[in-house]
């Protein structure tokens, strides 16, 4: 590579010249639109405290399981990448050393979105002009470290620089939302929104369930020693989230099942869980029942219900024991929606205050299940390609598989779903480019007029996420 | 949109200029071929009575669940679109008002085949030059209404105008086929063919089963109070269909299962069903058993057996209760073919008089199951992309996923499967364009010679459906 | 077709001119690399005996179930194609007649990889200049027959001509490896490698199981009348394979399940199998248990473990009874990996001596399961598109679906998996072209730099298969 490392203005646009010209024109209509980030995992305390991001390894490598999983697959270990906390692990503490290992493994990211996002970030935000490698690692480290230390590189300043109009965090159901209160007091109440995530409370066989239940009781001030108290505590906390500006709830279940139990059975399972005698089958049924309850509450309080099913968490036991969850060992499984969502959609699919946004990591369901469902139920929106599918070719496949049945209007628009704050502009930009390419093809094939494509591009990038996440 | 609304001659052809030139040449070889419509749902009485189509809303909107489901998903209601019959629904009766609501929702069809077909129909058949919208609705309504009222716009005249060489209707197994007899008397006996569809009779747990059984008895003149009589009645009606020119049967089951029961068990379940004591599991097993019986009868009488499995009907209970079936709430589910078809293919897969054409709305099975099966069993043909998959990108995926294993010769060619009579030319034309694009790519990639592509295009558009649906 | 039948230099490269130019440049970097054929089914005796290939029908038609299945699907019969051995079948014995039937059916291969490979072979290896047809069959037959008879057309000479650096055969676990010993004595010990395939021994409900067990005992010299002896005999034979240069084992199971049984249960099932009382469920559990045992042995002896699950063998009973296995009636089924591989990956997924290469004929699992797994577990590599998926469009879909999550480094590179020796150059060449086209698109979309694409192309074609199949 003799030329300097730069971002090509046409990157991720279709190669065919006729289509590319159209794609450029369509992308131009969205590239400068503000970012609407309605689902993500940036820690709220970053915005509340507004302090510096630390060093390049802490910013880019250590917390990003997309990065570390790829390096692990090629022989690195999590401790050598700075991940780990147990006493007997020799966890690397030198950020420069971690950075070197990351740069030495740069080759392995070829063809992945991680590579695409990082290239965008390093060039655009940090002004890096050399491709990462063992040779260039130190120079890039110094450049990035210096940039991080600048005063305009703190989270709130980046909100402006990144043109983020609104960003949602994800918060446990028992959150007191103090950080969000501080942000509201500082004038960020409309810009940084909480999201209600009750997963651990809805799975009564998780080891931490009773502990988390105590947290819910403490936060809500409601006695949770009965099933009815438990529902009341959840409802109370949802109201707190609504008052703090929340637009949505978020639910990550292994199954999409939403079959309700009758009240007596739900009470019995809850009591068994409290007594420590719940079976795995009962707990699973209870978690489906609770999705139905969450939908019922959404139909009352208008919080948009996000469902992210189908990921088997912590596939390997040793890394989980040593390093905890979210370390790259979450693997998708077959997911069923048609039968699973039927109870909720039959009950609330036409309810004016209910909205569900469904995500999947099983792309088979786009054309078979989710697009047909979203194409008829007014309450259902099809979420953006999620997790492993948030990549150029996968996003294109999503458009091709889902649009013909669901149309554009039944989609949520892009959500970045990330904890990597600096990657947010890159992710939205990539999505806009991929959508421009897809729309350009429809125009080039005379399946859509150009004015319609321009209008749809703005819908997908801006209007649809705002509309889909409007509390109803 | 400043230019008038027209159909581009290259629509739905590949954008890449080199491939497009080839696609144009290939498409030119098929665009004027007669239409062979071997599977569809146009009511036979339209041809028998040959009366006018009514108003634009009745022709385009009210009976088309593709249209109404999309509008419902965006907040319209079925009654406001003229759908409904129960007393307490305020069903819109003004066709112009229905038409306005449809035109106002035009945007929501972007990217869907419905949009593509409608544009073709409105421009080509009705001479419309304005894109539908709230503003243009009335003018288009008047133009379409005037055209519908013209004498050459009756069904039989359109058969000629659309160059439909042959069209199959779908008729209940208990049909007397009087309309087909009238058509035969009028010289249309070779052109409008019946298709034998026994679904309700093969599912003994459906609420109407005993009622439908009475219809079968009445039509066939055979006593159906025993399992053997029931088989005999079915056989008798199949003979009536054969005599009336039928080429095929059609079977829409939730599962593709074809496992036969032994005779004693089949009799027992039949008797239980008559007695009203059949279980859901027994009924499901019986429906699989009856698919096997239908295959056995096909091997006798040579009727081609069409199988359309994998759709969960009437997903939402309230719309079903209010408006009945076929209102857009039928949703695909995972479908299995390899094990499910094994009994039938093992028994009849090499039988010289047996032919099955298998369709799917679960596109995962193209490369995994249906193409491998069709690529070895002489009795099996792979049906055209069905229902939600009858769209430009989905049809392209079908070609790409199935051809490499099944080849072209093991496919049925296009079937339009529609009740929207005026959409038939648009659907066939679109399929020919998509096939031309696929074949053009094979030629451009030097995987096929141009003369072969031209020959194959004619096969797919014309020869293969005629051959696949030839009674054996 | 007026022009002579030739191979276009750009065949199977992308049609878009901008991408094609890049693809040409990338393909040029790999087209002359030696072939690394680490998984295949060429009979070892061909190399050991180094005799002539017989006639065109025996070389091309009779043993190739890709060919015969397609002709059967269009009405030919296996006996008429020279397949069969039972007394009451009129098996065609005239090779010229078989060849004529194959050439007459040439049209049916349009769009299939069989056609692509055959065209490459006939033109490139045999100098054929006419497209096969009923008219040209005899002339082509004579030309091919003459070429086969030439002295430089024996297997060892072709190893040189085809530039095959190394080729692995597939050998039963009870093989004495005498042919491989002869090859070693002749200086081919590093070039023709055995592969350990124990399938029949791991499925105790197969009719030949006890017979095959005797073979294992005879080969290994170990008493297999107990479960522990059985394991010891397998271990002994693995050592023999290691000593003969084997790099890998190969496992074709219906399910990918790897759940171990406890020792007592494994012993109990083994004893039941010996006694002939094993149930189908026990046998299935035992086969999963034995995959776990094979993984454990691989972690000891370093043999790379290849897993090829998900094919239902011998779908039709009559052809199986008449002609035996591998006659084109093996059909894929849904395959699950995430949960199925969990026991093995949890136990050995980070083990330095363990490597698994996983293949699939269910392409749904690329993005959902295999790429996410390969993208984190250092022991797992994602195998090349297998069997029905070893075709231009299917290989492209594999790259598009798997790369974004797994990267290139976690893939095995191409394996040809064929018994059709003369097709090996065509298959590798096609894979290199498809990979060049995919990489060219990444470059054209500015997602990868050209120098990276060139380096990756060589990885995929040459370095990765060598590395993936290195005994650990």
Report the CATH number that the domain containing residue B435 is assigned in CATH.
3.20.20.140
Q: Which pLDDT score, from 0 to 100, does residue A3 have?
A: 67
User: Would B5 be classed as within a structural domain?
Assistant: no
* Arithmetic mean of pLDDT over chain B: 96
Residues of C in contact with A10 (CB under 8 A): 445-446
Whether the CB of C255 is below 8 Å from some CB of chain B: the reply is no
**For residue A387, what is the nearest residue in chain C, using CA coordinates?**
C405
Whether residue B84 has pLDDT greater than 90? no
Q: Which pLDDT score, from 0 to 100, does residue C84 have?
A: 86
Residue C129, both tokens: 């200049």
Whether the CB of B6 is below 8 Å from some CB of chain C: the reply is no
Q: Which pLDDT score, from 0 to 100, does residue A90 have?
A: 86
C23 CA: distance to closest CA in chain A (Å): 12
Residues of A in contact with B391 (CB under 8 A): 404-405
My answer on whether C74 and C190 are in the same domain is: no
My answer on whether A29 and A59 are in the same domain is: no
My answer on whether A26 and A62 are in the same domain is: no
Residue A397, both tokens: 């496949």
Nearest to C333 among B19, B339, B345 (CB): B339
| Contact flag A377-B15 (C-beta cutoff 8 Å) | no
* Domain boundary, last residue among B151, B175, B196: B151
* Domain boundary, last residue among B151, B183, B207: B151
- Report DSSP letters for C159-182, one per residue: HHHTTEEEEE--EETT---HHHHH
| Contact flag C403-A14 (C-beta cutoff 8 Å) | no
**Chain A, window 361-400: residues with a beta carbon less than 8 angstroms from a chain B beta carbon:** 364, 367-369, 371-378, 380, 400
Residue C304, both tokens: 């790379």
| Contact flag B73-A378 (C-beta cutoff 8 Å) | yes
For B405-456, how does the pLDDT look when each residue is reduced to its tens digit (9 = 90+)?
999 999 999 999 999 999 999 999 999 999 999 999 999 999 999 999 999 9
Whether the CB of C349 is below 8 Å from some CB of chain A: the reply is yes
User: Would A1 be classed as within a structural domain?
Assistant: no
* Arithmetic mean of pLDDT over chain A: 96
| Contact flag A131-C449 (C-beta cutoff 8 Å) | yes
Q: Which pLDDT score, from 0 to 100, does residue B87 have?
A: 60
Whether the CB of A125 is below 8 Å from some CB of chain B: the reply is no
My answer on whether A116 and A193 are in the same domain is: no
Residues of B in contact with C363 (CB under 8 A): 367-368
**Chain B, window 184-213: residues with a beta carbon less than 8 angstroms from a chain A beta carbon:** none
Residues of B in contact with A444 (CB under 8 A): 15
Q: Which pLDDT score, from 0 to 100, does residue A55 have?
A: 95
My answer on whether C398 and C419 are in the same domain is: yes
For B363-400, how does the pLDDT look when each residue is reduced to its tens digit (9 = 90+)?
999 999 999 999 999 999 999 999 999 999 999 999 99
Per-residue pLDDT band for A4 (boundaries 50, 70, 90) equals confident
Q: Is B370 exposed, middle or buried (0-12, 13-18, 19+ CB in 10 A)?
A: buried
My answer on whether B42 and B56 are in the same domain is: no
User: Would B92 be classed as within a structural domain?
Assistant: yes
Q: How far is residue A421's CA from residue A418's CA, in Å, rounded to a whole number? A: 7
Nearest to C394 among B342, B404, B441 (CB): B404
User: Would A77 be classed as within a structural domain?
Assistant: yes
Per-residue pLDDT band for B4 (boundaries 50, 70, 90) equals confident
- Could you count the other beta carbons within 10 Å of the beta carbon of residue B7? 14
Nearest to B16 among C15, C115, C334 (CB): C15
Q: How far is residue C195's CA from residue C193's CA, in Å, rounded to a whole number? A: 7
Residue A266, both tokens: 């739900």
- Residue partners of C3: CB distance under 8 A and separation at least 6: none
Whether the CB of B169 is below 8 Å from some CB of chain C: the reply is no
Whether residue A365 has pLDDT greater than 80? yes
Task: Give the pairing of strands C248-251 and C304-307.
Answer: parallel
| Contact flag A389-C376 (C-beta cutoff 8 Å) | no
- Residue partners of A169: CB distance under 8 A and separation at least 6: A40, A41, A42, A43, A44, A47, A180, A192, A193, A194, A195
User: Would C290 be classed as within a structural domain?
Assistant: no
- If you search the block for the tokens 């030949």, which residue do you land on? C208
Whether the CB of A439 is below 8 Å from some CB of chain C: the reply is no
Q: Specify the CATH number for the domain of residue B67.
A: 1.10.2020.10
Whether residue A2 has pLDDT greater than 60? no
* Domain boundary, last residue among B94, B119, B151: B151
Per-residue pLDDT band for A318 (boundaries 50, 70, 90) equals very high
**For residue A16, what is the nearest residue in chain B, using CA coordinates?**
B16
Q: How far is residue A348's CA from residue A377's CA, in Å, rounded to a whole number? A: 9
Mutate: best of C377, C435, C439, C449, partner A, most A CBs <10 A: C377
For A231-254, how does the pLDDT look when each residue is reduced to its tens digit (9 = 90+)?
999 999 999 999 999 999 999 999
User: Would C333 be classed as within a structural domain?
Assistant: yes
My answer on whether A415 and A364 are in the same domain is: yes
Judge contact between C134 and C104, C-beta under 8 A.
Answer: yes
User: Would A464 be classed as within a structural domain?
Assistant: yes
Residues of C in contact with B360 (CB under 8 A): none
Which stretches in chain C have pLDDT values below 70?
1-3, 86-89
For A172-228, how does the pLDDT look when each residue is reduced to its tens digit (9 = 90+)?
999 999 999 999 999 999 999 999 999 999 999 999 999 999 999 999 999 999 999
Whether the CB of B438 is below 8 Å from some CB of chain A: the reply is no
Nearest to A447 among B107, B108, B392 (CB): B392
User: Would C222 be classed as within a structural domain?
Assistant: no
| Contact flag A334-C452 (C-beta cutoff 8 Å) | no
The helix or strand, by DSSP H or E, that contains position C217, with its residue range, turns out to be helix C209-220
| Contact flag B109-A342 (C-beta cutoff 8 Å) | no
| Contact flag A107-C349 (C-beta cutoff 8 Å) | no
Per-residue pLDDT band for B105 (boundaries 50, 70, 90) equals very high
Rg from Cα positions in chain B = 23
My answer on whether A120 and A197 are in the same domain is: no
| Contact flag A368-B14 (C-beta cutoff 8 Å) | no
Q: How many CB pairs below 8 A link B and C?
A: 137
Residues of C in contact with A392 (CB under 8 A): 404, 445, 447
My answer on whether B59 and B185 are in the same domain is: no
3-state secondary structure chain B: CCCCCCCCCCCCCCCCHHHHHHHHHHHHCCCCCCEEECCCCCCHHHHHHCCCCCCHHHHHHCCCHHHHHHHHHCCCCCHHHCCCCCCCCCCCCCHHHHHHHHHHCHHHHCCCHHHHHHHHHHHHHCCCCCCCCCCCHHHHHHHHHHHHHCHHHCHHHHHHHCCEEEEECCEECCCCCHHHHHHHHCCCCCCEECCEECHHHHCCCCCCHHHHHHHHHHHHCCCCCCHHHHHHHHHHHHHHHHHCCCCEEEECCCCCCCCCCCHHHHHHHHHHHHCCCCCHHHHHHHHHHHHHHHHHHHHHHCCEEEECCCEECCCCHHHHHHHCCCCCCCEECCCCCCCCCHHHHHHHCCCCCCCEEECCCCCCHHHHHHHHHHCCCCCEEECCCCHHHCCHHHHHHHHHHHHHHHCCCCECCCCCCCCCHHHHHHHHHHHHHHHHHHHHHHHHCCCCCHHHHHHHHHHHHHHHHHHHCCCC
**For residue C398, what is the nearest residue in chain A, using CA coordinates?**
A393
| Contact flag C405-A388 (C-beta cutoff 8 Å) | yes
Nearest to C394 among B367, B442, B456 (CB): B367
My answer on whether C460 and C379 are in the same domain is: yes
- Give the structural domain span for B362: 17-51+154-468
Percent with pLDDT over 90 in chain B: 96
My answer on whether C178 and C319 are in the same domain is: yes
Whether the CB of B350 is below 8 Å from some CB of chain C: the reply is yes
- Give the total number of structural domains in chain C: 2
Q: How many CB pairs below 8 A link A and B?
A: 138
Q: How far is residue C260's CA from residue A279's CA, in Å, rounded to a whole number? A: 23
Q: Which pLDDT score, from 0 to 100, does residue B382 have?
A: 98
Judge contact between A280 and A207, C-beta under 8 A.
Answer: no
Nearest to A376 among B72, B131, B318 (CB): B72
Which residues are registered as beta bridge partners of B356? B305, B380
My answer on whether B169 and B180 are in the same domain is: yes
Residues of C in contact with A401 (CB under 8 A): none
């Amino acid at each position: 590579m003799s030329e300097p490392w730069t971002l090509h203005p046409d990157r991720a646009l279709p190669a065919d010249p006729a289509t590319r010209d159209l794609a450029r024109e369509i992308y131009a209509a969205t590239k400068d639109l503000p970012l609407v980030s309605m689902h993500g995992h940036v820690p709220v305390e970053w915005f509340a405290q507004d302090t510096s991001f630390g060093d390049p390894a802490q910013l880019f490598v250590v917390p990003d399981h997309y990065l570390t999983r790829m390096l692990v697959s090629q022989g690195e270990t999590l401790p050598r990448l700075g991940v780990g906390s147990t006493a007997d692990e020799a966890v690397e503490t030198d950020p420069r050393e971690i950075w070197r290992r990351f740069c030495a493994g740069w080759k392995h990211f070829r063809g992945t979105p991680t590579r695409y996002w990082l290239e965008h970030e390093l060039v655009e935000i940090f002004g890096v002009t050399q491709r990462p490698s063992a040779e260039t690692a130190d120079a890039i480290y110094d450049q990035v470290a210096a940039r991080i230390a600048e005063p305009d590189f703190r989270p709130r300043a980046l909100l402006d620089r990144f043109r983020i109009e609104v960003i949602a965090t994800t918060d446990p159901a028992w959150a007191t939302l103090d950080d969000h209160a501080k942000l509201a007091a500082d004038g960020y109440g409309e810009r940084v929104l909480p999201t209600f995530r009750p997963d651990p409370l809805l799975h009564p066989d998780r080891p931490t369930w009773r502990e988390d239940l105590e947290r819910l009781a403490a936060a809500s001030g409601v006695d949770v020693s009965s099933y009815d108290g438990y529902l009341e505590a959840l409802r109370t906390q949802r109201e707190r989230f609504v008052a703090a500006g929340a637009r949505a709830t978020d639910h990550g279940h292994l199954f999409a099942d939403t079959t309700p139990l009758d009240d007596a059975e739900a009470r019995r399972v809850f009591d068994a869980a409290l007594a420590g005698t719940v079976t795995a089958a009962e707990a699973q049924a209870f978690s489906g029942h609770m999705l139905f309850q969450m939908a019922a509450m959404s139909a009352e309080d208008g919080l948009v219900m996000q469902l992210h099913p189908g990921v088997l968490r912590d596939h390997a036991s040793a890394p989980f024991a040593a390093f905890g969850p979210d370390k790259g060992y979450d693997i998708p499984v077959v997911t069923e929606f048609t039968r699973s969502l039927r109870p909720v959609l039959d009950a609330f699919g036409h309810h004016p205050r209910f909205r569900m946004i469904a995500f999947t990591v099983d792309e088979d369901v786009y054309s078979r299940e989710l697009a047909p469902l979203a194409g008829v139920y007014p309450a259902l929106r099809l979420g953006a390609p999620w997790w492993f599918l948030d990549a150029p070719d996968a996003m294109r496949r999503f458009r091709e598989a889902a649009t013909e049945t669901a149309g554009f209007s039944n989609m949520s628009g892009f959500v970045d779903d990330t904890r990597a704050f600096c990657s947010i502009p890159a992710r939205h930009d990539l999505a806009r480019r991929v959508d421009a390419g897809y729309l350009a093809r429809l125009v080039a094939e005379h399946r859509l007029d150009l004015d319609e494509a321009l209008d749809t591009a703005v819908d997908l990038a801006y209007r649809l996420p705002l509309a889909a996440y409007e509390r109803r």
